[in-house]
Structures are given as C-alpha cells and as structure tokens.
Amino acid sequence: IRCQSINTDKKKSSRNILDNASNLLTDFLSGGSLGSMPIAEGAVTDLFDRPLFFSLYDWFLEHGGVYKLAFGPKAFVVVSDPIVARHILRENAFSYDKGVLADILEPIMGKGLIPADLDTWKQRRRVIAPAFHNSYLEAMVKIFTACSERTILKVNKLLEGDGNGGPKSAELDLEAEFSSLALDIIGLGVFNYDFGSVTKESPVIKAVYGTLFEAEHRSTFYIPYWKIPLARWIVPRQRKFHDDLKIINACLDELIKNAKESRQETDVEKLQQRDYVNLKDASLLRFLVDMRGADVDDRQLRDDLMTMLVAGHETTAAVLTWAVFLLAQNPSKMKKAQAEVDLVLGTERPTYESLKKLQYIRLIIVEALRLYPQPPLLIRRTLKSDVLPGGYKGDKDGYAIPAGTDLFISVYNLHRSPYFWDRPHEFEPERFLVENKNEEIEGWSGFDPSRSPGALYPNEIISDFAFLPFGGGPRKCVGDQFALMESTVALTMLLQNFDVELKGTPESVELVTGATIHTKNGLWCKLKKRSDSH
C-alpha cells in the first residue's frame, strides 16, 4: 500500500495553493520534510460532517499505513500499521510524549499519569502500577458485583411498576445507566467514595459530568480557546468548568486528608498481602497513602486520583454500551452468551474465579473494544527526531520524522484493518480463538496466544500490536484488567437477568466522538425479565 505514494505525489501537485503553502510552512516549522510520505487530501467537511476517525479510515485505505494529514497550518502523521505502532509505543517510547493530548488534559488532570511529563510519569507509574495487584482486583470484583446489583434492582423496580402488575418491558437509555454504574465503581475502587449515582443525583456527580463534558469538548475542538486570557472568568462555560473542578477537588482533598490521617505505613509487598477481600477500604488511595517510600504532596495525589476517575469512567461505560449495541443486533450471539452465563453461574453472582470460565462474555467485551476502541486514536509528539520503521509493505527505509511532529496512532484503523482481520467490520467474538500466523506480512508475527501465557483477555502482545485496546509499551493503560473484569461482570449480570432489544433501529443510534465513541442520543433499549433463564 505504500506504493500509492507515487500516485499521491501526482495528486499533491493538484492540491490548492493554500494547502501546499501550509505544508511547506509546517515542514519548515517542524524542521524538515516528511520525505515521500503519502499526503491525505481531505475537504474540511470531512472533519466536521462525521467523526474524524471515519475519514482517517478512508484515507488509510487510500494512502496506506503511514500518511500525512494536513489541515490548516497543522500536520499530523497518521499511523495504522502495527509495526510502526509497536515502534512508537514500545521500542522507542521515550522519544515521544502526549503532545496535543497533554495540552487538553493538563488543566483537568494536572500531572496525573496520562498527561504527565516523563520525569513525573516515571516516578508515579512505579508507585501506581503495583496498586493494581491480583488481590486488589479480586476485591474489586466484589464491588463490580455489588454495584451491578443496584442497576439490576433499578430495572426490576421499573418492571414491577406500582405493584399492580408492571409493564412487560422497561425502556432505558443503557448508555446513561452504564455511565452511572461505571462512576459508582470508579469512585469506590479508586478512593472508596460512593457516588451512588445509579440511584441519585448530587452536586459532586453533576460536577464530574460537567468536567467530563468539557474534557470531551476540548478534545474535539482544534483551537485551545480555554487558554485565551480571562476566558475562565468571562466565558460562562469556562466559569462553570472551573466551578465544577473546585467541587471535585474539594471532595478529593477531603478524601486525601482522611486517608492521610489514618495512614499505616507499610512496604509494598506487605500491602499487597493484606486481606483485601475483607478490607473495609480496598481503594487505590489507601494503597498509595500507606505505601512506604511513596510520600508525595497532596496535589500530585489529587492529580493521580482525578486522572483515574476520568480515564476509568466513560471508557468502561462505552465498552458496555457498544457490547450491548452489537449483541442486540445478533440475537443468536446474545442467546449463546446467556447460555454460557446460565451454565457457569446459574443464579449465582460472578466471582473472580468464575470470570475465568466466562470465556464467551470476555470475548464479546474484547470484540466490542476492537470495533469501538476507546479512545479511537492515540496521540503522540516526537521529543526528538526519529525514523519510523518500514511497515509490512513498501518503503523499507521508513520515514524520517523531525522533533515536534504530531502523530495519531489510529487504533480504529488497526482494529478494522483488512490486512489483519477477516471480515473486519463484522461482530465475531469467536475470531480471537483462531490463530493467525500470516507469514506473508514481513515483520509482523501474527496472533499467537502462547506469546502471553495466562492472559485472560487477548491483548497487544498476542496480536503483535494489531489489537491495541489499552495501548502498549510503558504507557499502556494501568487499569486494563480492572476495566475488563468490570465490563465482564456488568455484562454477565445484565444478560443473566434480562433480554435486551434496541428500541429503535441500529441506524438511529448515531455515533459521536470526543475522547471516547458514544451515541448521539443514548442507547435506548427495551429490557424484559428473562423467561428462559437458568
């Protein structure tokens, strides 16, 4: 597919003068040319009429696994090739930082892991990663179950009506329900705070949604308007954003103060051996405060908590939303999933151990993440010049990129690449069970589960970076197992109790994106108590 750069060169000559000038300017400003890299020509409407990642996909099919996208005075390199993604994320990870993403998230997450500069990141990652140990995850499964139980109860109440025989089915926006569920779970798991958002509203909950909304908005807006002097005092939305932040920060500060007052300093190994399942407070905050040698100022701790609150909330809710959307269009797969749940659990609730037996549900979750990755793009900027490796076809010399180059790794393109997946747009959870050692693709070692022995869920190692739902390399998501288990528990319990249908047509569920892919007007579904269960 790289061969298309020749055609692209011809097309390039016909591009309008303004575009050429902007490319020259960008190349000049970024210290050099991107050589023979194909250039995507898109109308500006491509960027605004539909989610950006759809256009990036079309250009990927046209221009190949590495191309340059120029709009206005700005240019991005778009990567849809696993070998190049592996290079950026793992092999040469420390030559890149988060670039544009850090600009967007810094006002919310401060020096939390996602936007952090490399020095802060190294320090905090070393402390935070061990907090997600196995006993913690086991304790979390109990929390996932207890919180999902609340959602089930809520639907059951709707189905019971006022006691005089309720409706046959309950109509709900499951996207909103999953969002509340994920918020309750992340609050308890990260700082032992019960938002209780499945059943109530509160100023803190409103503030969290307000902040997330602003984060989403900023990530789709190409001009950092929030940096305009006085904007935070003059623009009403900016004022509200800062008020929301104040409410959340006050809540987090209080939790940090309480945790510090009851600190019991211990070594990491001892902390990990605590009787987690019976601990009153099994949260990450407790671990981070009690860990010996991990003293940190309250501001950094607050940034860490805020980062995990934002990173672990909408992402997980979105996975559940799209898993249900896909299942609802595939009734036979829904039945197969329910049969597995009935066989493994009967009427019991899922446990840490039983998750290992719920293979089909786990594959549904990862297949939903393949088709709807959250986020659909990973963002990077080169800290120093680099040479991207030649991908699986064409240009063996690769592409030299100067320091300061902005890159998008399109996880959406990788996950739907016709070069790596059969029927890439189809929902086929079973696909992950088939080994694929496509030797025609030089430099890519195929899908091989033996590469990641003991992994409960397929990952980037098994797929040699063709499947990247949680990124890869040193900056891979720290909460991946938390999120996967959470989604598996919530989906299991939903299917154990209800049959789910879409209320409208699949087409009416329109897609919008910010940091995650969500629906335009909610995922409206009809839920009926299962008649054929257990």
Residues that bind ligand HEM (CB under 6 A): 113-114, 125, 190, 307-308, 311-312, 315-316, 319, 374, 378, 469-471, 475, 477-479, 482-483
Closer by beta carbon to ligand HEM, 108 or else 378:
378
Q: Helix (H, G, I), strand (E, B), or coil: what is residue 266?
A: strand
With a CB cutoff of 8 Å and minimum separation 6, the contacts of 429 are 333, 360, 363, 364, 366, 367
What is the C-alpha separation between 455 and 451, in angstroms, rounded? 9
Closer by beta carbon to ligand HEM, 328 or else 491:
491
Token digits for 522?
């909610």
Minimum CB separation of residue 222 from ligand HEM in Å reads 19
Asked if 75 contacts 406 with a C-beta cutoff of 8 angstroms, the reply is yes
Minimum CB separation of residue 371 from ligand HEM in Å reads 13
Closer by beta carbon to ligand HEM, 129 or else 228:
129
Question: Which one, of 366, 379, 438, 429, lies nearest residue 405 by Cα?
Answer: 379
- For the chain, the maximum distance between any two Cα atoms, rounded to a whole number of angstroms, is 74
Minimum CB separation of residue 288 from ligand HEM in Å reads 12
Minimum CB separation of residue 484 from ligand HEM in Å reads 7
Closer by beta carbon to ligand HEM, 170 or else 411:
411
Sign of the C-alpha dihedral computed for residues 213, 96, 483 and 328 taken in this order: positive
Q: Is 123 exposed, middle or buried (0-12, 13-18, 19+ CB in 10 A)?
A: middle
What is the C-alpha separation between 461 and 454, in angstroms, rounded? 12
Token digits for 8?
């692209």
Closer by beta carbon to ligand HEM, 118 or else 268:
118
Other Cβ atoms within 10 Å of 189 Cβ, number: 27
Minimum CB separation of residue 1 from ligand HEM in Å reads 25
Token digits for 503?
């209320």
Minimum CB separation of residue 321 from ligand HEM in Å reads 11
Asked if 470 contacts 477 with a C-beta cutoff of 8 angstroms, the reply is yes
Minimum CB separation of residue 22 from ligand HEM in Å reads 27
**Nearest position to ligand HEM, beta carbon:** 479
Closer by beta carbon to ligand HEM, 482 or else 498:
482
Closer by beta carbon to ligand HEM, 475 or else 518:
475
